[in-house]
Structure 1
Amino acid sequence: MWKWEADGQAKAVIVIVHNAYEDHQRYAWLIQQLRISGFDVITGDLPGHSPEEKGNPHEETFDSYKEFAKKMIDAGLKESVPVIVLAHGLGATVMIHLLQRHRIECAGLIISSPWLSLIHHPPKFSSMLTRLASSMKLDHGVTYDMLTKNMDERPKTRHASDVRSVVTGGWYKELTSFMKSTLQNEKSIQDVPLLVQTGGEDRMTDTAESKKWMKRQNLSEFQYKEWRHLYHDIYHEPERDEVFLYTKSFIDNVLRSLGYVIEN
């Protein structure tokens, strides 16, 4: 994992848990915006997601994702300022799963486009699910065109391999089980300020399920924001400046509620 220090005195530590099929380097712009705004940032590559492992099918356990997220949060807790977790896609689902089952010391949680119910599945997956071998390779068929309209975020080639969405059958089966158990868990996450953001034109997930899930939570403070014309990767869209300002406003309000003096 890596740490970036704020420009000046840090107001909080932001822990970023990234999505499946990517690595932390995709968040360079967001990391820089957070630093400029006075936040330390801790993030890293989920197991199996570092660039050095490019070309290997994903076969990591979901327990390893949870353990890595907890390690990053523990690293943030060593600082003398509040820890706020920002998690996207599958990373958001990992954090929901953790907060349903464990107490995590964080001052707030920001989740975007959580993988609770996918609308994009591997081609012909439903018909082969029962006979899919755990070691068999399977391409989820995710492309950058599905994730963002931002041309600067797309590589020169637009093949699924650029997103590294090749997985094993065992991994995808565990993914479906992981999402189902997280979505259907009737226990609320622990009571921390929560911001849920989705894209109105998300091609990966069923955003209606994310909204329903949030409404079932027993929380003192929560916000839901659907960015009407945005795709799945809201922090990479052409409108990402607006998304960041909305996110920063939430963080500042969390810090004010803890007694911090925030200067705009």
Structure 2
Amino acid sequence: MWKWEADGQAKAVVAIVHSAYEHHRRYAWLIEKFRSSGFHVVMGDLPGHGEAAQNKAAHNEDFQSYGSYIDQLVQASISYNLPVFVMGHGLGATLVMQLLQLKSIECAAVILTSPWLNLKIHPSKLSSALSSIGKLAENVKSTHDVTIKQLTRNYDVYTQDKDDQLYNTTITLKWYHELQQLIKATSTRQESIQNLPILMMTAERDKVTEHTYAKHWLHKQQLSEIQYKEWANCYHDLFHEPEQEDVFLYTESFMNNVLRSVGYIV
């Protein structure tokens, strides 16, 4: 993982967990916005993603490795001795939600964008094979057609990322089965997560996941401070959309309010 330090004195640290198939380089704009606003950023690539994806025929990582990676990411962020914000996007948001259900995370607040709780896009070959999964079928491969065009309506981002060699959506049946188990467990768990401020943001025109499930999950939690924002007209990748500046300012306002509540002058 990598660390990008704030311009001038830092007021907090942001630990970012990206979504499935992508990598940290797609967050260059967001990282720079945080840096220039007084935040350190700690981020890496999920196991099997980024440069590692170039050497793999398909995603077949154990989902437990994702949880271990997020633990390491949070620990690296805590080492600054500053308030920590944990941010997850897409699958990354769902992984953070699961982690919050399993343990307490040492952080000031959590920011979740477009979590995968009810997917609209399914790899047809794998969906039909789930009922008969066995050792021989685990390595069956398929493409999960989550394309850049479905992630954002920002043409500049589309032209930049459409031929990204590190963006790999080929998966195995085993991986897809674990994904479905994660989504089901996260969605149906009745116990509330730890009481900490949460900002949940979704996209009205999300092509990847059904955004209303995120709102339902959030309001099911027993929390003292929640903030929910549905961005009109936006696609899945909120920080890549034409409204990205507004999305960032909204996020920064939430973070500054959290910092004030714990006694920081911002």
**TM-score range relative to shorter protein:** over 0.9
State yes or no: 1:16 paired with 2:16: yes
Deviates more, 1:193-202 or 1:157-166: 157-166
- 8 Å CA contact 2:62–2:175 kept in 1: the answer is yes
Counterpart for residue 97 of structure 1: 98
Which of 196, 219, 242 in structure 2 is aligned with 1:238? 242
Counterpart for residue 209 of structure 2: 205
State yes or no: 1:224 paired with 2:244: no
SS at match of 2:124: coil
Which of 235, 244, 251 in structure 2 is aligned with 1:247? 251
Counterpart for residue 174 of structure 2: 170
Instruction: State percent identity of aligned pairs.
Output: 48
| Root-mean-square deviation over aligned CA pairs | 1.6
How many Å apart are 1:53 and its aligned residue? 2.5
Counterpart for residue 64 of structure 2: 63
The verdict on how the C-alpha distance between 1:157 and 1:106 changes in structure 2, with shifts beyond 3 A counting, is: closer
- 8 Å CA contact 2:84–2:107 kept in 1: the answer is yes
What code does the residue aligned with 2:21 have? Y
**Structure 1 portions without partners, runs of 5+:** none
Q: Deviations over 1:109-155 (max 9, x none)?
A: 00000011111111354333223511111111111000001112124
- 8 Å CA contact 2:239–2:247 kept in 1: the answer is yes
**Structure 2 portions without partners, runs of 5+:** none
Counterpart for residue 33 of structure 1: 33
- 8 Å CA contact 1:7–1:37 kept in 2: the answer is yes
Task: Write out aligned runs for 1:187-202 (5 A).
Answer: 187-202=191-206
How many Å apart are 1:161 and its aligned residue? 7.1
**In structure 2, how many angstroms separate the alpha carbons of the residues matched to 1:99 and 1:139?**
30
**In structure 1, how many angstroms separate the alpha carbons of the residues matched to 2:39 and 2:67?**
23
- 8 Å CA contact 1:143–1:163 kept in 2: the answer is no
Counterpart for residue 6 of structure 1: 6
The verdict on how the C-alpha distance between 1:151 and 1:55 changes in structure 2, with shifts beyond 3 A counting, is: farther
How many Å apart are 1:255 and its aligned residue? 0.1
**In structure 2, how many angstroms separate the alpha carbons of the residues matched to 1:16 and 1:39?**
12
What code does the residue aligned with 2:19 have? N
The verdict on how the C-alpha distance between 1:129 and 1:240 changes in structure 2, with shifts beyond 3 A counting, is: same
How many Å apart are 1:52 and its aligned residue? 3.9
Counterpart for residue 120 of structure 2: 119
**In structure 2, how many angstroms separate the alpha carbons of the residues matched to 1:224 and 1:124?**
35
SS at match of 1:54: helix
Counterpart for residue 150 of structure 2: 146
Counterpart for residue 46 of structure 1: 46
**In structure 1, how many angstroms separate the alpha carbons of the residues matched to 2:122 and 2:155?**
24
Counterpart for residue 261 of structure 1: 265
**In structure 2, how many angstroms separate the alpha carbons of the residues matched to 1:159 and 1:129?**
30
Which of 184, 187, 200 in structure 2 is aligned with 1:183? 187
**In structure 2, how many angstroms separate the alpha carbons of the residues matched to 1:76 and 1:156?**
30
Deviates more, 1:156-165 or 1:98-107: 156-165
What code does the residue aligned with 1:239 have? E
How many Å apart are 1:160 and its aligned residue? 9.8
The verdict on how the C-alpha distance between 1:160 and 1:260 changes in structure 2, with shifts beyond 3 A counting, is: closer
SS at match of 2:212: helix
Equivalent pairs counted in the alignment come to: 262
**In structure 2, how many angstroms separate the alpha carbons of the residues matched to 1:153 and 1:21?**
16
- 8 Å CA contact 1:198–1:207 kept in 2: the answer is yes
